[in-house]
Amino acid sequence: MKIALNNGFLTDNSNDVTTGAYFVVTNSNSKYADDALDAGAKLISPRQAIEILGLKERIKIIGITGTNGKTTTAFLLAHTLSNLGYKCAISGTCGSFVDGRQIAKKGLTTSQILETLSYIKEAVECDCKYFIMEVSSHAIAQNRIEGLEFALKIFTNLSQDHLDFHKSFDEYARVKSSFLSDSSDKIINCDDKNISYNALNALTYSLKNGNIIASNFELKDGIISTIQSKSEIANLSLNLHGKFNLYNALGVIAASKKLLNLDLQSICNALKGFSGVAGRMEIVSPDIIVDFAHTPDGIEKVLSSITERELIVVFGAGGDRDKSKRAIMGQIVAKYAKVAIVTSDNPRSEDPNSIIEQVASKMPPNTIKITDRKEAIKRAIDIQNGEVLLILGKGDEDYQEINGIKYPFSDQKIVKEILSNKG
């Protein structure tokens, strides 16, 4: 990564170094620092890079962490702040965007720090007031957010994921909690008891007992709820589905309150008109929905949000990732689905059939197993007879990763192609 300056450039790649360049030393490239120094670079920290780029105090950085809900919360917050008159930038799972314009394709949930700084620089140059970024547990553990000063931190929820990296849920929780241990302003889902945080400058949200509470809610056709904060009461109406999205909305309302201190109804009004995020409960055609859910908790929340209809569920599990969640995911789908079809997700270097067997290991014997994801989706559409079809795991991904190669694959496009061929 290189960022041009008037009198040189910044880089985090020692192979790019020329005399006079600034080499930004990070957790991942520190072993190449001596090489960069020998090539004539000046070694600097990410914090010094922020100062050289003139970004300090030019924009407010908002970091969102949690197992599920980060992406929807980020886009809903940007939508809300935009409706209230503030330009925003977003960086996360779906890529990076400045005032609605995509400037980078999807990559890591949280980019390497110099790449993030390049996005922040572009956001500043476009007069954005807020830079909203998803903060993954990997990024916290690997110090990929070094040097960033967060004006606000948001915690959504915590459930099993990434145990291939963190080895235990306790360690996963510890890493997430470390992000929330300082005295910065923060927004906390206090219904989730798996996290610890510094209560100083924290504003909590809840369906039970928090600073901002949702009550009298209805979730059948979108979200309708009463929102309360101290002596304020407001009405919320959203075209989103599920209790999990009510939690996401509460986090956004709390964040907006903390940032702007506007009256509650004005904030709730600013949430209106949000149409969701691609691949997050995305209605591809009537009765066919694509969602990114790929953890036990995420799948449970999605499936439990549709109670009035029978379900057909197509899903799988990613290879080279937390194996302990696979059978749990299968059990959850079996609990809710009339028909469950286990298929391949992104097998990566693993045998897809082996992954499928692990997912289905505690599911009923009549569970359908189809390795080819396209064929699995076609089978589901062929047998669909009034049920809602949910296709889970990949969301808006446009590839399937097999043995190091990313082949073009989009659940949405496959659905539309199959329906088109059926006439």
DSSP helix/strand/coil, 283: strand
Here the CATH number for the domain that contains residue 182 is 3.40.1190.10
Domain boundary among 203, 236, 270: 270
**Annotated binding residue at 42?**
no
Q: Does the annotation place 397 within a ligand binding site?
A: yes
Identify which of 131, 127, 125, 118 has the alpha carbon closest to the alpha carbon of residue 62: 131
Give the pLDDT of residue 160. Answer: 79
Residue 420 is labelled as binding a ligand: no
pLDDT of residue 162: 84
Residue 309, annotated as binding a ligand: no
Predicted pLDDT at 362: 98
Residue 84 lies inside a defined structural domain of this protein? yes
Report how far apart, in Å, the C-alpha atoms of 135 and of each of 276, 298, 303, 351 are.
20, 18, 26, 30
Q: What is the DSSP letter of 13?
A: -
Answer yes or no: is 134 a known binding residue.
no
298 is in an annotated binding site: no
Q: For residue 347, say whether it is annotated as part of any ligand binding site.
A: yes
Do the annotations mark residue 47 as ligand-binding?
Answer: no
Asked if 125 and 263 sit in the same domain, the reply is yes
Q: What is the CATH number of the domain that holds 393?
A: 3.90.190.20
Cβ atoms of 422 and 340 closer than 8 Å? no
Asked whether residue 169 falls in the same domain as residue 313, the answer is no
Q: Are residues 259 and 368 in the same domain?
A: no
pTM metric for this prediction: 0.93
Give the pLDDT of residue 220: 86
CB count within 10 Å of CB 408 equals 8
**66's tokens:** 């949690």
- Sort strands 212-218 and 223-229 into parallel, antiparallel or unpaired: antiparallel
The answer to whether 110 is a known ligand-binding residue is: yes
List helix spans (H) across 11-64: 33-38, 46-52
Q: Is 95 annotated as a binding residue?
A: no
Whose tokens are 């057909």? That residue is: 312
> Within a 10 A sphere around the Cβ of 185, how many other Cβ atoms?
18
Return the sign of the alpha-carbon dihedral for residues 267, 395, 281, 361. negative
In a domain, 185, yes or no: yes
Q: Is 326 annotated as a binding residue?
A: no
Helices (H), 66-112: 70-83
Q: Output the pLDDT for position 416.
A: 97
User: Which are the contacts of 51, defined by CB distance < 8 A and separation ≥ 6?
Assistant: none
Dist. CA 378–CA 47, nearest whole Å? 51
Q: Are 265 and 152 in a shared domain?
A: yes
End of a domain among 236, 270, 304?
Answer: 270
Domain membership of residue 292 (yes or no) is yes
Residue 19, domain member (yes or no):
yes
Q: Nearest CA to 340 among 363, 307, 372, 308? A: 363
182 and 253 in a single domain? The answer is yes
147 is in an annotated binding site: no
State which amino acid sits at residue 144: R
Q: Is residue 169 domain-shared with residue 252, that is, in the same domain?
A: yes
- CB-based contacts of 294, cutoff 8 Å, min separation 6: 317, 318, 345, 392, 393, 394
67 is in an annotated binding site: yes
Does residue 141 lie in a domain region? yes
- My answer on whether 128 and 208 are in the same domain is yes
Q: Clarify whether residues 107 and 31 are in a common domain.
A: no
Task: Give the phi and the psi of residue 43 in degrees, each rounded to 5.
Answer: -85, 130
Is 371 one of the annotated binding-site residues? no
144 is known to lie in a ligand binding site: yes
Residues 249 and 300 in one domain: no
Record the tokens describing residue 106, joined without a space: 């999807």
Count of beta carbons in the 10 Å neighbourhood of residue 246: 22
Beta bridge partners of 60: 130
For the CA atoms of 377, 378, 383, 389, the dihedral, rounded to the nearest 10 degrees, stands at: 30
Residue 383 lies in a domain: yes
109 is in an annotated binding site: yes
User: Do 30 and 107 reside in the same domain of the chain?
Assistant: no
269 marked ligand binding residue:
no
295 is in an annotated binding site: no
Total count of domains within the chain = 3
Domain boundary among 243, 270, 297: 270
Co-location of 10 and 76 in the same domain: no
Q: Is 70 annotated as a binding residue?
A: yes
As a whole number of angstroms, the distance between CA 307 and CA 335 comes to: 12
Would you give per-residue pLDDT tens digits along the chain (423 residues)? Answer: 999 999 899 999 999 999 989 999 999 999 999 999 999 999 999 999 999 999 999 999 999 999 999 999 999 999 999 999 999 999 999 999 999 999 999 999 999 999 999 999 999 999 999 999 999 999 999 999 999 999 999 999 999 788 888 889 999 999 999 999 999 999 999 999 999 999 999 999 999 999 999 999 999 889 999 999 988 999 999 999 899 999 999 999 999 999 999 999 999 999 999 999 999 999 999 999 999 999 999 999 999 999 889 999 999 999 999 999 999 999 999 999 999 999 999 999 999 999 999 999 999 999 999 999 999 999 999 999 999 999 999 999 999 999 999 999 999 999 999 999 987
pLDDT for 92 equals 97
- Domain span at 134: 60-270
Spacing of C-alpha 280 from chain mean position: 10
* 289/227 same-domain check: no
Contact criterion met (CB below 8 Å) for 147 and 168: no
Amino acid at 244: F
Is 345 marked as a binding-site residue? yes
Neighbours of 201 (CB within 10 A): 13
Report yes or no on 49 lying in a domain.
no
- CB 89 within 8 Å of CB 112: no
Structure token pair of residue 374? 């396209």
Residue 120 domain-assigned (yes or no)? yes
